[in-house]
Amino acid sequence: MIATHNEGKRREVAELLAPYGLDVVAAGALGLPVPEESEDSFLGNARIKALAAARATGLPALADDSGFSVAALGGDPGVRTADWAELPGGGRDYAMAMAKVAALAEPSPDRHAWFSCALVLAWPDGHTEGFLGEVHGRWVHPPRGDRGFGYDPMFIAEGGDETFGEMEPAAKHAISHRARAFAQLRAACLD
């Protein structure tokens, strides 16, 4: 089970798990509530989500907490990445969030940015294993590309020239923060 209500994350994690023949069911599809993410770290919030799903279903659960950080903003939006896209009446608008990042960071010449992904695998007995992956690069504005999700259209990984929003999914999966965290999980728990 994947402890997420985010379709983009569900899709990416399902693609990473596909070679292992694991069936993927999302917490959102099971109608599980979204637990409050009260920690100040990606690993802490992923642990909250994974444990809540594992205990609610009696099955092992994998949770992801990820975010986009900008050096010129002191690492924000960071752990509160999704909050920057929240709309007053509900839902999220990432175009608005990307515009906010650009408006606040534009005065600085520092374009360094990074994506972080924490993956936590939890069992119903409370045992957890956590893994953190990062990919560094730079932010760009205006956003480019219509692939991926979230802040992907404004991020170019080091050594690249396409945003995550412009890249073919397989190319992104080969270098992304989620792929780097998954490689650690795979080595520790799947291989």
Look at residues 41, 107, 96 and name the one whose alpha carbon lies nearest to residue 73: 107
The CATH label, of 3.30.1330.10, 3.40.718.10, 1.10.3720.10, 3.90.950.10, for the domain at 7-190 is 3.90.950.10
- Convert the pLDDT of each residue in 98-125 to its tens digit: 999 999 999 999 999 999 999 999 999 9
Between strands 128-139 and 112-122, the pairing is antiparallel
Those residues whose C-beta lies under 8 Å from the C-beta of residue 23, and which sit 6 or more positions away, are: none
pTM for the model stands at 0.90
pLDDT tens sequence across 125-163 = 999 999 999 999 999 999 999 998 899 999 999 999 999
- Calpha distance 168→164 (Å, rounded): 8
Catalytic residues: 65
Confidence of residue 173 (pLDDT cuts 50, 70, 90): confident
